[in-house]
Amino acid sequence: MEFFADTADVEAIRELGEAGLIDGVTTNPTLVAKTGRDFLSVIGEICAITEGPVSAEVASTDFTGMVAEGERLADIAGNVVIKLPLTLDGLKACAHFRRVGIRTNVTLCFSAAQAILAAKAGASYVSPFIGRMDDINLDGVALIRDIRRIFDNYGFETKLLAASIRSPNHVTRSALAGADVATCPPTVIKSLVAHPLTEKGLHGFLSDWKRSGQSIV
Ligand code: E4P
């Protein structure tokens, strides 16, 4: 499973990248607004420190506007992936970018039927928002499982990107359900490392080592 950082915080991306923990980045207008910085510069900086795909979202809602904005974003760097909303115009724009060889991430997916449309339009990624589904008492992980099965049934090549992840449990359950990628806030990626028995075990090893009076270097 690949991990993407779901953030526009350049320093957080740098830290996770240096630790070798991420394969790409996703952003959205809310995450960019939180930084208070200029959108195009932030995306440029993220692309410069990230080898993998960086999703940058259009703000227009009509086909012509999405194509113009997507072309501008794609000019920033070769690893930009154009993020498009799951609307008819978004799907039309997706098919357009597929024809010209620019990768896309179709976002705001909340049903298997929507995911089929994204795959048929040639999306590189489709992003079901599992946390937002759980928030309203729907089963986000069940949606990942359904989409996986459908994509495998028909050989769709669109990557299944579990988004709106809130916890380590979401990550594990999405992996079991067959997501290709999980995009997570940096806090969630870092929290995956924590286990009380790891901490307790390390504490025990260190105190025994200290008692032995030895040193390695
Ligand atoms: C996905 O690409 C989105 O940026 C993101 O996962 C949305 O998550 P949220 O529901 O926490 O805003």
DSSP state of 37: S
What is the pTM for the complete model shown? 0.96
Does the structural domain 2-212 have CATH classification 3.40.50.1820?
no
Count the helix, strand and coil residues of the chain and give each as a percent rounded to the nearest 5.
Answer: 50, 20, 30
Name the amino acid, one letter, at 160.
L
Residue 152's CB: how many other CB atoms inside 10 A? Answer: 11
What are the domain boundaries of the chain?
2-212
Beta-strand runs (E) in the chain = 2-6, 24-26, 54-57, 80-85, 104-109, 125-128, 159-162, 181-184
> Going by CA atoms, what residue is nearest to atom 6 of ligand 1?
164
What residue ranges of the chain have pLDDT lower than 50? none
- Whole-number Å distance between alpha carbons of 145 and 179: 8
CB of 142 closer than 8 Å to CB of 178: no
> Cα(157)–Cα(32) distance, rounded to whole angstroms?
29
How high is the pLDDT of residue 60? 98
83 is catalytic: yes
Ligand 1, from 4, 7, 28, 125: best to mutate by most atoms within 8 Å of Cβ? 28
Residues with CB under 6 A from ligand 1: 6, 26, 28, 107, 127, 129, 131-132, 163-164, 183
Tell me: the pLDDT tens digits for 62-106?
A: 999 999 999 999 999 999 999 999 999 999 999 999 999 999 999
Which residue is closest in CA terms to ligand 1's atom 9?
Answer: 164
The pLDDT of residue 36 is 97
Nearest to 76 by CA among 122, 110, 44: 44
Spatial separation of the C-alpha atoms in residues 4 and 46, rounded to whole Å = 12
- Which among 164, 167, 170 is the best mutation to test ligand 1's pocket, defined by most ligand atoms within 8 Å of the CB? 164
Rounded to the nearest angstrom, the distance between the alpha carbon of 87 and the centre of ligand 1 is 17
CB 25 within 8 A of CB 14: no
Name beta bridge partners: 5.
Answer: 25, 184
> From ligand 1's centre to the CA of 201, what distance in Å?
35
Q: How long is the chain?
A: 217
Exposure on the CB side of residue 214, measured as CA atoms within 13 A = 6
**Active-site residue identified among 83, 190, 200, 210:** 83
